[in-house]
């Protein structure tokens, strides 16, 4: 676990018995990956790499009947 100068905490856990890493961003979003580089790229891409937990507004437009 490391702390950036802004106090943001990034947590990456290894899931025992697997090659899977489980990451939790300072915003609460979670991600799993087998590649450590992929995991850190996802973590450090915030906020462009992902949205805070519960915010699904970007890229998800309501689909419906226009009539």
pLDDT recorded at residue 60: 34
64 belongs to a structural domain: no
- How many structural domains are present in the chain? 1
Number of residues that this document lists for the chain: 67
60 belongs to a structural domain: no
Question: Taking the chain (67 residues) in consecutive chunks of 10 residues, what is each chunk's mean pLDDT?
Answer: 63 92 88 92 74 46 45
16 belongs to a structural domain: yes
Task: Quote the pTM value.
Answer: 0.57
21 belongs to a structural domain: yes
**Parent domain of 36:** 2-44
Cis peptide before 47 (omega within 30 of 0): yes
12 belongs to a structural domain: yes
22 belongs to a structural domain: yes
């Amino acid at each position: 676990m490391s702390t950036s100068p802004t106090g943001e905490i990034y947590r990456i856990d290894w899931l025992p018995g697997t090659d899977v890493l489980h990451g939790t961003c300072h915003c609460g979003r979670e991600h799993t990956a087998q590649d450590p580089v992929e995991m850190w790229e996802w973590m450090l891409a915030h906020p462009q790499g992902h949205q805070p937990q519960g915010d699904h507004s970007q890229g998800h437009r309501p689909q419906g009947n226009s009539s």
